[in-house]
A and B are shown apart, each in its own frame.
Chain A
Amino acid sequence: MEFFFQLMVQGLSVGFLYALAALGFVMIFKSSSVLNFAHGELLAIGAFIFLVFSVRLNLPIPIAFIFTLAGTFALGFIIERLFLRPLIGEALIEVIMLTVGLAAMFKGLLLVIFGGNLFNYPDFLPKGLTIQWGAVVIQPVYVASFIIGIIFLSVFGFFFKYSSQGIYMRSVADNQPAALSLGVHVRRVFALSWAIASLVCALSGIILGIMNGINVHDISVMGLKVFPVVILGGLESIGGAIIGGLIIGLLETFTGGYVSTSLKEVIPFVVLVFILLVKPYGLFGLVEIERV
């Protein structure tokens, strides 16, 4: 029973990590229909920027964290401006191929700058974060992932639900011509969705880095996990991305705990194939409202 509980909490916190990463992916897809294949590289960039601030520049951790978020947010804007904006109006496949190119370029840059070694953050998480409950011990990083996940998913949830800017973003995803007719700055919405995506990717990249260490290849491969998550949750739905993330996180952890650790990495993709066969729009994909 304790083992079950432990896996459950770990699974949920890994799930929040996936949910954050998936949120970034879904945002870009929702606003501009672009599948971002450079997603894993955005995770890696975030993890390395935090490494630079915290280790190389030796800044206090909270400052390094805030700088990383601000930096990756700005980076998202810049990526959209430099690479995506010139392609607005071109065929979607060209834009998607561009993101494949971006992935290769980012990975190359990171390898040139940092090399392919494994790096580690200093052990900065307070030991007090450890949860001990009988024989159950939850490591601080899982608790931190849980907390960060809940905080940021709520923040973005409120942002999209209540803030004007969030409502403009959803209007573009919903009906672009109508949004244009009301003066919504569609290009700005695209840029903002890249900025937010890049920021939430950094968050999950940092957590991944704390869990497993930081390595260009390992982290960018984690970007692939976002596919089972969003396919499960439905590409269009932010709520679905969160639930999809939690389900995949739990599935993985339970498989690792009860079945075998080598199967753990495969399970999300088995789910992916299964879902695509049975429910191609995802469990929580939008039901098209058809009424005139």
Chain B
Amino acid sequence: MEDNLLLQINNISVVYSDVIQVLKGVSLEVKKGQIVSLLGSNGAGKTTTLKAISGLLKPENGKVTEGSIIYQGRPIHNSAPEEITRLGIIQVHEGRQPFKYLTVEENLRVGTATRWGKPYKKDLELVYHYFQPLVARKNRLAGYCSGGELQMLVMGRALMAQPKLLLLDEPSLGLAPFLVREIFEIIKRINEEQGTTIMLVEQNANMALQIAHYGYVMENGKIVMEDEAVKLRENPDVKEFYLGTATSGALKSYKDVKAYKRRKRWL
């Protein structure tokens, strides 16, 4: 394989509780240093894909039953989250999951778990540099922070782990537009300045495709389309279904028969 390939997912199937099949043969690649966006509507299987990578399927009784996930040349699809995080893969859950009864700075310190005992002052400074609003909140319980602050907190916490591959699950969910812009701006800067490879799961395709290099579109547990982000942005189907800017007059319904036929081409 090419050396600049960081992660390779080969045709994986994921099953929850031994019976509920959610992913049906998903393949994708993430190149080192890129932002790769995974788009798709609710229930498409985006979160499941991230959890398959990070090993967090296990506590939910989910399993990769077929295919393989290769990270830096080694298979990781059967590894525990404790090992996978130590290889540099950190997932940020959707819906912001702070430690409510820990202060903001204590939350950040949990991010050092993969390298316990090593110095972390520089990393704290780096996090406060990117997420300046957190400085004033340092000693406040995370449970009392606002949604925007929490999104910064959980991303900063992940950054404390010095990730090589950062998996972000819907960072824009439920945030005001100006906050979404700010958060995406920071994601882009982290990618450029720290060289962190990022996999960005989003329903806000518009924002995601502005900062991503490459994009995949998922539906019903399958990848239905993939391309350079610039090209996806111009793709008429993506425009219609995910960017909400249909060129052919009126916005079409998601379940439109014609649209279904057109989408069939990628299945």
Q: Show the binding face of A for B, using Cβ within 8 Å.
A: 164-165, 167-168, 170-171, 174-186, 286, 289, 291-292
* Structural contact, A289 and B158, CB atoms closer than 8 A: no
B45 in contact (CB, < 8 A): no
Can you name the residue of chain B whose Cβ is closest to the Cβ of A189? B113
A281 to chain B minimum Cβ distance, whole angstroms, is: 15
Q: Interface of chain A, helix or strand or loop or mixed?
A: helix
Tell which of A168, A170, A175, A183 has the most Cβ of chain B within 10 Å.
A183
Can you name the residue of chain B whose Cβ is closest to the Cβ of A171? B110
> Which listed residue, A165, A171, A185, touches B99 by the CB 8 Å rule?
A171
B143 in contact (CB, < 8 A): yes
Task: For chain B, give the interface size range.
Answer: 35 or more
* Structural contact, A175 and B112, CB atoms closer than 8 A: no
List 29 contacting pairs A-B, 8 Å CB cutoff, sorted by A. A164-B112, A167-B106, A168-B110, A168-B116, A170-B102, A171-B106, A171-B113, A174-B99, A174-B101, A174-B102, A175-B99, A177-B59, A177-B97, A178-B98, A178-B99, A178-B154, A179-B99, A181-B54, A181-B97, A182-B90, A182-B157, A183-B85, A183-B113, A183-B114, A184-B110, A184-B113, A185-B113, A186-B82, A291-B144
B217 in contact (CB, < 8 A): no
* Structural contact, B117 and A170, CB atoms closer than 8 A: no
B86 in contact (CB, < 8 A): yes
CB proximity to A under 8 Å, residues B84-125: 85-86, 90-93, 97-102, 106-107, 109-114, 116-117
11 extra A-B contacts, CB within 8 A, seeds A171-B113, A177-B56, A185-B82: A164-B109, A164-B113, A167-B110, A175-B99, A179-B110, A180-B59, A181-B158, A183-B161, A186-B82, A289-B101, A289-B143
> Which listed residue, A165, A167, A174, A180, touches B56 by the CB 8 Å rule?
A180
Check A182/B98 contact, CB under 8 A, given A164-B109, A168-B113, A177-B59. Answer: no
* Structural contact, A171 and B161, CB atoms closer than 8 A: no
Chain B residues with CB below 8 A from A168, complex form: 110, 113, 116
